[in-house]
Structure 1
Amino acid sequence: MRENVDFGIDLGTTNSAVAVMDGDRAGVLRDPANAEFTPSVVHVSRSGNVLVGSSVVAKAVTDPANTAAEFKLRMGRRDDTVLFEASGTTMSPEELSAQVLMSLRGNVSVALGEQLQAAVITVPAAFTMDQHAATMRAAELAGIRSATLLQEPTAAAWAYLSEQRTLPDKAFWLVYDFGGGTFDAAVVKIEQGEFSVVTHAGDNALGGKRIDWALVDEVLKPALHAADPSRPVVSRDNPRTVGALARLKSLAESIKIQLAARTEVLVEDDIEVDGVDVPFSCTVTRDQLDAVARELVAASVRHCRKALADARLGPSDVSRVLLVGGTSKMVLVRELLGELGIPLDHSQDPITVVARGAAYYAATVRRPRTDDHTPAGTVRLRLDVPAAGQDDDPLAGGRAELETVTDWTGWTVELRSTDASTGLAWSSGKVALESGGVFRTRLQTLSDGLHEFTVVLRDPTGTEVPTDSPTTTHRRLAAKGDGAARAVHTVGVGLANNEVQVLVAQGDELPSTGRAPDLRTSGPISHADGGVLRIPILEGNHERADRNRVVGVLDLRREDFTRDVPAGSEVEVELTIDASFGAQDGTAYFPLLDQEFPIHVDLGRSALPPVEELEEHRAALGRRYDDLRAQAAGLGPEAAAGLDRFDEHGYLAEADRLLRQAAVDPDAVATCHDFLLEVESALDEAEAGLDLPRLADEARSAKATASEIVSTFGTREQQAELSKAQSELDTALVDGDRVVIERRIDEVWAIAGGAIPHDARVRAQFAGLEESLAGDPRPEVGRLLTEGRLATVRGDVATLERVVAALRRYAPAGGPDVGPAATAQRPGVVGVERGRGR
C-alpha cells in the first residue's frame, strides 16, 4: 500500500497520460499499444461495448457516428450529451472523460498490478469552476476515490524543477502550454528552492485543434475538391462526407506533427467522398501551415505578454520559457516566441511533461488513510510524517491506538533509516510515548530524494509489538512548490451599472472567503410597489460585469422581506471558494432586517445556444465594429489603433470560419460560442482604445514628471528602474493595450513616488485631500483642514501625517453605480452598488 498518492494524470483534449513515481523519478506508464499516451477517443460498439484509446482512433474516420473525441472542453455543460447511434447509448462529457480515466487506471493495473484509487489530475489554468467540478465528477465515476486537481502549468513547473541538477537562487520562468484544446501562459517565481505561480493568462478555446481545422478548411478541403470537382464539397452537414472530413482532420494532425521537422509533407491517400474513393495527392508546406496558424500562435504570444504585464515583469526579467504541449513543437511557435527575447527551454518532452510533473507533485501528497481491518493485537499507528519537504530534520510524530491499552507510559518508538547516497545508518533512538500514546521526534535526511524509515514499537518490557505501519517515508526536495491552489478567475458581485465588486480575486490562494461588506441596494423594494432585488455572482476576469459568466443569482421579492427595504440599504455578501476551485453557496446579509439569505452557486453551465443565436451575435459584433470605426474616423490614427490591431488579429474572419463549422458540428459550437465572447472583449478593448490619445498624453506627462522627480531625489538604482519602466511603457504604447499601458503608467508613478522624500509626499497627499474636500460642510472636516494648513506652514510633518489619515475617512469613495446591464435595464429589478463614503 502506497503512503503517497504518487500517480499523476494529464487528462488531455487530444491525448491523456498517467505517470508514477519510481524512487526519485517520475515515469510515464505505456498503454497496451506501448505508447506513452492514450488518445482521448471513445467508441461504443453496436452491442454497447466501450473501447478507448489508440485501438479506436481510426473509428473517428470509419465510424464517426459511434465515436467521440475532443470532448474535454464540453465538460460542465448542462444537458450536453453524445449519442452513439448504433447502440443508442448516450454519454455526457464527464462520462466520456471517466472512460478515458478508467482506461488509464487499466494501464496502471496491467503495468504495476495496482488498483489506482488516488491521483493528481491536471486541468488547464483557464478552466472555469464548473469545469473543475466536472473533472472531479469524472474522477469519481472512474473509481478514483481521491482526486486532487493541479493546474497544468504548475505541473509542468514541477517536472522541470524536479529534474534540474542545479536551481537558481532567484528567477522567473514563463510556462508556455499550447495543448490540443487550450492555451495557458503562467509566470513562475523561483526563490531559495521554492516556486510559486505568480500569474496566469490563457484561453480555453485556443488549442492545437484550431490549427488542425484551419489547415483542413484552408488547404486540404480545397485540394480534395480540386482532385475531383464532380464530387460534393466535403462538409459536416452532408452525412455522406462526414467520414471524409474526419479523415482530413486526422491527416491535418499528422501533417502538423511532421512539419515540425520537415519543410513539406506529401500526402497520398484514397478518401471516400459520397461513396466514391477519390485519389488524393497533396503537398503541404510549412509555409502553408504557418499561414493558417500564424494568428492563432500570435494570440498565444499576446497571452504571454499579458501574463508578464500582470506580474509587472518585462521579458528581460524572465530567464527561460518552458515549452509544454504538442503544439509547442511547431517551428512557427518557436519563431514567434523568440520575439520575446527569452531563451526557450525544450529539454523536456512537451507531451508527457504535465503527467510527469503531476506525479512529482503527487509524491508530496499523502493518500487518504482508509480504516482497513487491523488484526487483533496489532497496534494502529496514526503516523504524522510529512510526505515531503526541504528540511534536513523534519518534525514527525504520531499516536498509538489499541483497545486493550489505556496508558502508554513506558512504551517507546524508534525510527531507523539508511541514507541511500552515503550508506550511513541513522536512528532516532527510543522515543517515549506520552500516556495518551502520542510521540514527537525529528527525522534525519542527509540528501535529496526518498528516505524510507523502519518504525519499531516496543512495550514497557522492551518487546517489539507489531503495528499496521512498520515503515514510513519522507522525500527531501531540492525544489518545492508552495502547494497552494489559486483562483483562476475573479469571482465577484455584479453591481447595478455593470462593474464587478471582487470577492475572490484571480490569483488568490485557495480556499478563500471573500466578503463585500459595504454594498447598498440601488433602489427600494416595498410591499406596496413590489420589485425584485437581484444579486448576481459572476466568474471571469472582465471589468464589465455582463462579459462574465453568472454562476449564482439571489433574487429576492417583497414577500421575502419582513419589512420594506429602502434604497441605499446595506447588504453584506460573502462567498467561499474551496481548494478544488469550487464555489460553496454564499450568503447575503441585510443588517436593517437582521436577515441572511443563501446564494446558490450552480456549477453547471447553460446548454449551448443554437447556431442561429450565434449567427445573430456575430452580426451584432459586425454592427458594433462598424459603429466604432465611424467614431474613430474623427479622432485620428491613435484612436483607431485598437481597431487596426483587431483587424490584424482577424477576429471577424475567424468568427465566420467557426460559425461555418458550428453549423454542422456540435463540438465546434462550444468553441464558436467562447470565441464570440472573446471577440466581444476584444471590441471592448478597441472601444477603450478610442481613449488612447488621452492615455498617450498621460504617459508622456508621467514620464516627464517622473524623470524630473527621480533625477532630483532618486538614487542611481531608482533612476535605472525608472529608465526600464519608461522603456516598457513605450513598448506598451506601441502595442496599444489599454490595460497594459495603464499598468505601466502606474509603475512609472510608483517609482517616482518612492523617490519623493517622506515629508514632501505627505504634503502632496494633504493637498489632494484639501482639494477633494473643499466646501465640505462637516465641522470635523473643516477643523482637520485648518489643522493641516497650520501644520504645513510650521513644517510639522507628524501632525500633517495624522491629519491626512483622519481626512481619508471623509474623502469621497466609490464610483458610478454599477452591475449586470441586462438586469439594470429591466423595470422593477433592483441591484446593488458600492457604498458611499460618509
Structure 2
Amino acid sequence: MRDTIDFGIDLGTTNSAIAVADGDTVTVIKSNDDSRDITPSAVWLPRPGLIQVGKKARDRAEFDPDNTAVEFKLEMGLADAGKSFARAGVRLTPPQLSAEILKALRADAASYLNGPPPTAAVITVPASFSLNQNKATVEAAVLAGFVPGCPLVQEPTAAAFAYGFRDASDRAYWMVFDFGGGTFDAAVVSKRDGDLRVLNHAGDSYLGGKLIDWALVDRVLAPAAARELGLTNFRRDDPAWRHSFARLKTAAEEAKIALSRTASTAVMVELDTQSGMTEMFEYTLTRGELDQVAEPYYVRAINLCREAMRDSGLAADAIDKLLLVGGVTLTPGLRERLADPQAGLGIELDTRLDPTTVVAHGAAVFASTVRHPAPAATAPAAGEYGVQLAYEPSVTTTTPTVAGRLRAGRELDWTGFSVVLANPDGMPPFRSANIALNRAGAFAAEVTIDERRTSRFTLELYDPTGAPQKLTPNTLSITHREVEFGGARLTHSLGIQLADRGFSPILRKGAVVPTQARETFRTAQALHRRDDEAVIRIPVVQGERPRADRNRLVGTLEIRPVDVRLDLPAGTEVEVTFEVDASNLVTVVADVPLIQAQFEAEIDLDSIRTPTAESLHQQLAEAERRLDEARASDDLPEVRERLAKLEAEGTLTTVREQVRAASTDAGAAATAEDRLRDLHAQLDDVGDAAKLPPLVRQLLELLDEASALAARTNAARDDQELAQLREQAQRAIDEQDLRAVQVQIERTTAFLVRLESRQPGWPSRLFYGITEQPGLLPPTREADDLVREGNQAISAGDERALERVNQRLVRLIPQDEQSKIIGLIK
C-alpha cells in the first residue's frame, strides 16, 4: 500500500479528471472511455442494471435527457434533489450520481496502474461550497468505494499547488482565476521563502459556464429558433420542449468551445415542432454574440477578484500572475478583458498549465503530502511485530525526524530492542546507527533525505540478541520539496442565527483551518425532558452579512431532551464550540455549565431542500419592488454606483431566467435562491446608501452643537470626550457604515443631553421641548398622566420631580426619534 494518498480528483460540474503523483512527477490519467484527460460528468441509464458514465453518457444527453443526468454538482447538498431515470426505473441522488463519476475515475486509475483501484484520493471542491455541499461530496467518495476520511481540498488551492510546485520564484503574489462549468472561485496566493499560502478567497457556487450556455440558449438560440420555425411558447420551463432545449443546451456548449478557436461557428440542431415532427434549425453564432451574452458573468467574476484583493489589502499591480483555471478561461474574449487594466484586472496571464486539468494536477501534488489513511490496527501475529509511525511525508528540510512506537501481540518490555532506518538508494546511501527503543517501544530519529527527490526507507527491527525480526509496515517514503503549503483558510464566516435574525459569527472568514472557536449563548426557551418533542433549534449559517437570512443556511444546531439530564429554563447558558477540520467539515460541541454536561450537538446538514418555484417567484417580485424603490433614489452617487454594479453583473436578468427555469431544473432553483439572497443583500446596501447622507449631515450638526456647548462649559473632560466622539464619527463616515453612524448619533445625542442638563432651566426646557412637539409622544394614558405630573411639578417649583417625569417621558419616545430632543430645546 502507498504511504501517501497520491491521487487527486477534480470532481467538476461539466468534466472531471484524476491525476497521480509518483515521486517527482504528476500524471493526468486518461479516461478508458476515449483516452482523453477529462471525463464528462454525465451518467446515462438506458435500461435496468446498465450505467454508462463519461463521454458515452454525455453524447446521450442531447437525445435522451429523460435517462441522462448532467451538471448535478450544482444540486449537491439538497436533500430532495435527484434524477429519475425512466427506463431503468430508479432515482439517484446527486451524491450517488457523483459516486458513479468517482467509480469511473477509480477504474481509469486501476487500468493505468494495472492493479487494484486506489482506496483513497484527495477530492477537490469549490472554495465557495457550503457545509452541506462538502458533506455530500464526502458521502459520494464513500459510495464510490474510497475509505472514509478522504480529504477535501478547495479547487483554487489545488490550482495554486500545481503552479507553486513548478514555479522557481521565491517571492510572488498570485491570483487564481477559476471559472469552471458550474462555479467560480478567486484566491489570492502568497509564495514566500518556500511557503505557499492562500491569503483570501471570494467566489460564487453558481457562477459557471453552465450559466453562459443557458444564457446563449434563452437569449439567442431559442428566440431565433422560435422565429425561424414558427414555434409558440418555446420556453425552457415548458416540459413539452425539454428535448429541444436539451439539444440546444448541448449545441450552445459546443459552440462556445468552438468559438475559443474561431470567430464564428455554425449551430445545427434538430428541434421538435408543434406538429410532432422535427426540423433542422441552423444559426451562425459569432464570438461577438458570445462575449455580449457572457459579459455580465465576466464582470461578476472580475468584481469578485477585486473583492478578494481588497480584503487582502493588495492592488492589482501587486499581483505578479493571474493563474487561469477552468474551461471558460479558454475564451479569447474573457482573456482580452482580464488583460485590460480598466475593464478587467490588468494582471499578467499565466497559461502554462492546461486549465481543464490543473486542479486535478494540483490535487495530486497535495495528495502526495498527505499520509494514506491507516487501516484499523490489528494485533500482530505471534512472532511478528507492528509499528505506528509518525512523520511528515513531504518536507522542506533535508533532515526530517521519523518517530514510531512498536507493537506486539503481548505485553513486552522493549528494553534492548533497536531499529535501523536505511535508504540504500540515497545519494549518498543512508543507514542509521542502531536506535534503541525505550521500555514502551518508542523511538525517534533524524534521517537524511535527498533534495527535490522522494527518499524511500526500510525499517529494520532487531531483538536484544541482534537477531532481525519481522516488522509490518517496514517501509516509508519522504519527499523533499522547496515549497510547503501554509494551510487552507475558511472561505466564509460561520456562526448562528439569533432570535432577532442577527448573525453571530463564531469562526471568521480567513481563519486557517483546522481551527475551532467557542461562544456563549442563552436559550430563548425552556427545554423540558418530559417533552419528547421539545427541541432547541438554532440555524447555522455561513456568510458575511449582519442579517442572518441574507447569508446561506447550511444546517441546524439541535439540542434535544435526550441530550441533557435536567430541565433547562429559558436563559440557560450554552457554550457552543465550532470545530472545522482541514476539509472544512464542521462538528459542534455544546456545553451546559448549569448541569455540568457536555454533549455533541447535531448539525443537521440533511434538511436543506430545493426551494419551490412559487417561493422563488414571490422573492423575485419582492426584489423587483425593492429595486424600483431604489431607482427612485438614484440621484445619490452612492446609490447610482451600487445600482450600476447590479446592472453590469446582469443580476436581475439572470435571476429572472433562473426563476423561470426553476420548475424543471433543480440546479436552476438553487442558483435562483442564491442569486436572490445576494440581490436582497445588495438592495439592503442600496437602502443603507440612500439613508446615509442625511444621517451624516445630522451627525455633523450634532457635533457642531456639542462643540459650541462644550466651549461654554470649558471643562477639560468635555473637550476630551468630544474629541473622541469626533474621531469615532469620522471613522464611521469614512467607512460608509450606516449602523456605525447611527450609533455615533446616539452617543453624541447623549453627550449633548449631559451638557444641556448642566445649564440653568434644563428640566423645564426639556419638558416643554418634548410635550409641545406634535406626534413625538405616543397617544397613551401613561403619556397624558406624565404630562399632567410635569405641569404640576413646574407649578410647585419641584425640579427633582420634574427630572423624574422627564426620564420617563424620554423612555416613551422611539429610540430613532430621541436625537430630535436636542433640536427641540435649543
- Using the TM superposition, give the Cα deviation of residue 50 of structure 1 relative to its aligned residue in structure 2, in angstroms: 1.4
Say yes or no: does 1:407 pair with 2:409.
no
**1:495 is aligned with what amino acid?**
L
Cα contact 2:248–2:269 (8 A) shared by 1: no
1:43-64 Cα offsets, whole Å, 9 max, x none, are 1122231111111211111111
1:664-719 Cα offsets, whole Å, 9 max, x none, are 33332222222211211221222232256589999x9xxxxxxxxxxxxxxxxxxx
Change (3 A) 1:190 1:49: same
Counterpart pick for 1:377 among 379, 383, 396: 383
Equivalent pairs counted in the alignment come to 700
- 1: CA distance, partners of 2:527 / 2:435: 68
Change (3 A) 1:87 1:562: closer
- Using the TM superposition, give the Cα deviation of residue 494 of structure 1 relative to its aligned residue in structure 2, in angstroms: 2.3
Cα contact 1:640–1:689 (8 A) shared by 2: no
Q: How does 1:137-286 map to 2 (within 5 A)?
A: 137-146=139-148, 147-164=150-167, 166-169=168-171, 171-229=172-230, 231=231, 234-239=234-239, 241-273=241-273, 275-286=276-287
- SS of aligned partner of 1:79: coil
- Using the TM superposition, give the Cα deviation of residue 555 of structure 1 relative to its aligned residue in structure 2, in angstroms: 7.9
Say yes or no: does 1:476 pair with 2:472.
no
Residue equivalent to 2:624: 622
1:517-554 Cα offsets, whole Å, 9 max, x none, are 3x56789999xxxx998754322222211212342255
Cα contact 1:641–1:689 (8 A) shared by 2: no
Counterpart pick for 1:577 among 556, 577, 580: 580
Residue equivalent to 2:549: 546
Cα contact 2:559–2:602 (8 A) shared by 1: no
Q: How does 1:77-156 map to 2 (within 5 A)?
A: 77-112=78-113, 113-146=115-148, 147-156=150-159
- 1: CA distance, partners of 2:61 / 2:536: 50
Residue equivalent to 2:803: none
Say yes or no: does 1:34 pair with 2:35.
yes
**1:431 is aligned with what amino acid?**
I
Change (3 A) 1:494 1:273: same
- 2: CA distance, partners of 1:645 / 1:452: 56
- 1: CA distance, partners of 2:599 / 2:687: 38
Residue equivalent to 2:783: none
Of 204-213 and 262-271, deviating more is 262-271
**1:502 is aligned with what amino acid?**
P
Residue equivalent to 2:304: 303
Residue equivalent to 1:512: 515
Counterpart pick for 1:396 among 368, 378, 402: 402
- 1: CA distance, partners of 2:660 / 2:639: 32
Change (3 A) 1:695 1:149: farther
- Using the TM superposition, give the Cα deviation of residue 103 of structure 1 relative to its aligned residue in structure 2, in angstroms: 1.0
Residue equivalent to 2:23: 23
Of 494-503 and 312-321, deviating more is 494-503
Of 140-149 and 437-446, deviating more is 437-446
Residue equivalent to 1:491: 494
Cα contact 2:41–2:101 (8 A) shared by 1: yes
- 2: CA distance, partners of 1:447 / 1:597: 48
Residue equivalent to 1:690: 690
1:57-80 Cα offsets, whole Å, 9 max, x none, are 111111110110111121111122
- Using the TM superposition, give the Cα deviation of residue 24 of structure 1 relative to its aligned residue in structure 2, in angstroms: 0.8
- SS of aligned partner of 1:215: helix
**1:673 is aligned with what amino acid?**
E
For the aligned residue pairs, the C-alpha RMSD in angstroms reads 3.5
Cα contact 2:200–2:491 (8 A) shared by 1: no
- 2: CA distance, partners of 1:353 / 1:467: 39
- SS of aligned partner of 2:127: coil
**2:69 is aligned with what amino acid?**
A
- SS of aligned partner of 1:584: strand
Residue equivalent to 1:652: 652
Of 666-675 and 279-288, deviating more is 666-675
- SS of aligned partner of 1:677: helix
1:469-490 Cα offsets, whole Å, 9 max, x none, are 34221001111102x4432321
- SS of aligned partner of 1:604: coil
- 1: CA distance, partners of 2:378 / 2:573: 52
1:367-390 Cα offsets, whole Å, 9 max, x none, are 122247866533323332321111
- SS of aligned partner of 1:409: coil
Change (3 A) 1:496 1:456: closer
- SS of aligned partner of 1:68: strand
Change (3 A) 1:279 1:312: same
Cα contact 1:184–1:200 (8 A) shared by 2: yes
- Using the TM superposition, give the Cα deviation of residue 271 of structure 1 relative to its aligned residue in structure 2, in angstroms: 4.3
- Using the TM superposition, give the Cα deviation of residue 210 of structure 1 relative to its aligned residue in structure 2, in angstroms: 0.3
Cα contact 1:227–1:279 (8 A) shared by 2: no
Counterpart pick for 1:610 among 612, 618, 627: 612
1:112-157 Cα offsets, whole Å, 9 max, x none, are 1122111111000001011111111111111101411111111111
- Using the TM superposition, give the Cα deviation of residue 740 of structure 1 relative to its aligned residue in structure 2, in angstroms: 11
Counterpart pick for 1:356 among 338, 361, 372: 361
1:618-647 Cα offsets, whole Å, 9 max, x none, are 1111111122233x15x6344433223323
- SS of aligned partner of 2:471: coil
Change (3 A) 1:681 1:61: same
Cα contact 1:419–1:446 (8 A) shared by 2: no
- 2: CA distance, partners of 1:459 / 1:569: 60
- SS of aligned partner of 1:217: helix
- Using the TM superposition, give the Cα deviation of residue 27 of structure 1 relative to its aligned residue in structure 2, in angstroms: 1.0
Change (3 A) 1:415 1:597: closer
Where does the alignment leave 5 or more consecutive residues of structure 2 unmatched? Answer: 529-533, 701-731, 741-746, 758-826
Cα contact 1:108–1:116 (8 A) shared by 2: yes
**2:281 is aligned with what amino acid?**
F
- 1: CA distance, partners of 2:695 / 2:176: 31
Residue equivalent to 2:440: 436
- 2: CA distance, partners of 1:416 / 1:653: 65
Residue equivalent to 1:814: none
1:249-300 Cα offsets, whole Å, 9 max, x none, are 1111111112122221123454454643323332111110000000001100
Cα contact 2:43–2:97 (8 A) shared by 1: yes
**1:99 is aligned with what amino acid?**
E
Q: Highest Rg: 1 or 2?
A: 2
Of 676-685 and 386-395, deviating more is 676-685
Change (3 A) 1:414 1:175: same
Residue equivalent to 2:451: 447
- 1: CA distance, partners of 2:422 / 2:557: 57
Q: How does 1:419-434 map to 2 (within 5 A)?
A: 423-434=427-438
- 2: CA distance, partners of 1:535 / 1:47: 43
Q: How does 1:305-384 map to 2 (within 5 A)?
A: 305-338=306-339, 339=341, 340-370=345-375, 371=377, 376-384=382-390
Of 180-189 and 46-55, deviating more is 46-55
**2:447 is aligned with what amino acid?**
L
Change (3 A) 1:513 1:454: closer
- 1: CA distance, partners of 2:198 / 2:122: 18
- 2: CA distance, partners of 1:297 / 1:308: 17
Change (3 A) 1:739 1:204: farther
**1:315 is aligned with what amino acid?**
A
1:70-103 Cα offsets, whole Å, 9 max, x none, are 1112111112221101121011111111111111
Q: Percent identity?
A: 37
Cα contact 1:244–1:273 (8 A) shared by 2: no
Where does the alignment leave 5 or more consecutive residues of structure 1 unmatched? Answer: 701-737, 747-766, 778-838
- SS of aligned partner of 1:587: strand
1:740-762 Cα offsets, whole Å, 9 max, x none, are 9659xx9xxxxxxxxxxxxxxxx
Cα contact 1:554–1:598 (8 A) shared by 2: no
